[in-house]
Structure 1
């Protein structure tokens, strides 16, 4: 049976290519899946094209994996064998003559409709109004609910991934709350802006409070225990809010990101600016929001039905 040096490959991806934590975890999972297959089928080096085709059938027919999962596992495996061959030419990659086409259904993202966004933001306004009446300190936000609403607004305005926002440190925010330095996928840095005056002021106040509380290298957003707020914790808060407001399908951080992109394009912002805001490496990734916007236009036109209006 071949020996798979998973850890060395994952470490090389991290140290030499700057691959992010979530991707590294996916790589490790993908390679463990193949290692189990290799052990069960007693594969030995050098692996052949037939071994790879058999693994593809195993993923598709026996494990019932989704097309996107199959593609990712095969891409990871191909990258691993290319890396291994580069280190040891006596171990050629079995992917040299393999041509596998995995058809992945293209699904449109599901942004949050404007009425639902209004309901969510109204919840935030109501909360702030209650706090103001109670005479609480205005050097806020202080409560976790305030922080949740602040993050939601930032997601809508900036289109950030939730992991990007929860990893922001105090020093990454400008003193006026108008800019955030973000470390995105592949360790690519970019600057995002907070254009809304009221939101910028709330964000500035929060950042100022955090700056006074400790080190500028500390996380900007904390959980109830005073540690960095994690993405999973924020998702749980959104699920609770969804239940409270009766929102289906439930709110997720990425749906706010989809909403940000769709709203900007619908309001006439150039697609390349949206690409820069979202941190997409390829314009093709951003173009899906143009198609989504066209889909929304079609539904709106069908609702209006001009010929029926003229026949009245």
Structure 2
């Protein structure tokens, strides 16, 4: 069996039949090509011993744990395909035990102080800016986008791919196409967020006529995730915020602040679009201040008349 041809055939299937996005396909291609090169001098790419040796090499290389897990997942998917298509008689991964413990990393959030500084700067610049300039329009867009991120917990990819028709002002909801083509509906009941989205729509009304997407750049193309990262970095420099803020930190901050206000984890799970509650529960580890407050002011002992004499 020619491993290179099998990989190319599999990637073509992933692109056409499974409709995977280009980012995922690129990762698959990179991971499987690395495996192919490792197997050049091996007699059998399908043997348990050779695959185990490859996994051991991944562990010894200076890869992040998440990268190793992704590479193994890519390989598992490939061998599952080979087995399902009867190209190989059995799937060797059924007999390979893999234990990779991923270190627990708390999600990073944006402190309220930094958020306030960021938005205050944008609000002030809007007031000072000439409302016929493109800079004014850019500020209006950035304000709407950042408020949407912190006000809904949307992923940056979801915000950038947001379609115009997915914002339903008559019902004050946003339809989000999340991971795995899963759709969820998020209420946008907060008045200032609704006003920001409407103002952006009005300000970019002419440009949006020729675009399917809601957030666009100067060339009337869909705003990219990298553009948003650069935009946040720019505002942090302008406001002297000494913190590396990423778009995903807005999502972490949204979830953590809801949890701090006693919102049930299951509701946060629905709002974030997590398929598994375990993914959402990571935020329970970053609310130590809330736990201290609960144990100090809401402790059952406070309700009991204990005789201290």
**Aligned counterpart, 1:52:** 51
On the 8 A contact 1:261/1:274 being kept in 2, the answer is yes
Q: Which residue of 2 aligns with 1:278?
A: 272
TM-score, normalization: structure 1?
Answer: 0.85
Select between 185-194 and 198-207 the one with higher mean Cα deviation. 198-207
Cα distance in 1 between the residues matched to 2:9 and 2:205: 39
TM-score (norm 2): 0.85
SS of the aligned residue for 2:184 comes to: strand
Q: State whether residues 180 and 193 of structure 1, in contact with CA within 8 Å, keep that contact through their aligned partners in structure 2.
A: yes
Look up the SS of the partner of 2:77 in the other structure. helix
Deviation at 1:52, TM superposition (A): 1.4
Q: 1:86 to 1:146 in 2, by over 3 A?
A: same
1:179 aligns with 2:173: yes
Match of 1:77 in 2: 75
Worse-matched range after superposition: 168-177 or 198-207 = 168-177
Deviation at 1:175, TM superposition (A): 3.3
Report how far residue 11 of structure 1 moved: 4.3
- 2:31 aligned with 1:33: no
Alignment of 1:262-277 (within 5 A): 262-277=256-271
**Structure 2 stretches lacking a partner, 5+ long:** 295-309
- Measured against aligned partners, the alpha-carbon deviations of 1:135-187 in whole angstroms (never above 9, x if no partner) come to x36xx995222211221111000101111001011111113582211111001
1:15 deviation in Å?
A: 5.1
Whether the 8 Å contact between 2:44 and 2:50 is mirrored in structure 1 is: no
Gaps of 5+ in 1: 302-312
Change (3 A) 1:298 1:275: closer
What secondary structure, in the 3-state scheme, does the structure 2 residue paired with 1:106 have?
Answer: coil
1:106 and 2:107 correspond: no
CA distance, structure 2, for counterparts of residue 216 and residue 87 of structure 1: 44
Instruction: Check whether the contact 1:170–1:219 (CA below 8 A) recurs between aligned residues.
Output: yes
| Alpha carbons 2:11, 2:25 under 8 Å: kept | yes
> 1:208-256 deviations in whole A, cap 9, x for unaligned?
4555545486111111222111011111111122222222331110001
Using the TM superposition, give the Cα deviation of residue 23 of structure 1 relative to its aligned residue in structure 2, in angstroms.
Answer: 2.9
Aligned residues: 295
